[in-house]
Amino acid sequence: MSTASPNSSAKPRDYFGLTIPFLDFIGVIPEYAQAGKARIRVDLRPELHNSFQVAHGGLTMTLLDFAMAAAARSIYPKALGMITIDMTVSFMRPSTGILIVEGKLLKAGKSINYCEAEMLNEAGEVTAKALGSFMLRL
């Protein structure tokens, strides 16, 4: 099992204006974050599996969390980031293969933002859903 990131020899990837080494390490590919929506993907590698050879729950939660935060941050041009206040995740089926995660801002407040995200497998089936609230960091 390799501990090297798929992006380890390259410069850090840009995650919608941020450098996030952990996302580089797990191989997250940012697709877009604009107008309160975000989309990322990961090609699931064996190093990211649990003992059942499917996506580890911690990986799933990380991806859902980042997609929601990126969606919320996309409407704040000067935001330094979003801080997770709380997050609830429902695991609906095992996640395998290429995973797509779509985040959406549901309600923007002065400092607290409410979001949702879905993880989909290659067949377009929802494998996990999340709801979360995020504090804006300026």
pLDDT score, position 47: 96
Query: CA angle, corner 89, sides to 70 and 42, nearest 5?
Result: 50
At 80-91, the pLDDT tens digits run 999 999 999 999
Structural domains present in the chain: 21-137 (3.10.129.10)
Residue 122: is its pLDDT beyond 70? Answer: yes
pLDDT score, position 87: 98
pLDDT score, position 86: 98
116 has which bridge partners?
104, 131
Instruction: State percent of the chain over pLDDT 90.
Output: 86
Give the span between the Cα atoms of 5 and 108, in whole angstroms.
34
90: exposed, middle or buried (C-beta count within 10 Å: 0-12, 13-18, 19+)?
A: exposed
Q: Which amino acid is at 106?
A: L
At 50-69, the pLDDT tens digits run 999 999 999 999 999 999 99
When pLDDT is averaged across residues 70-96 and rounded to a whole number, the result is 95
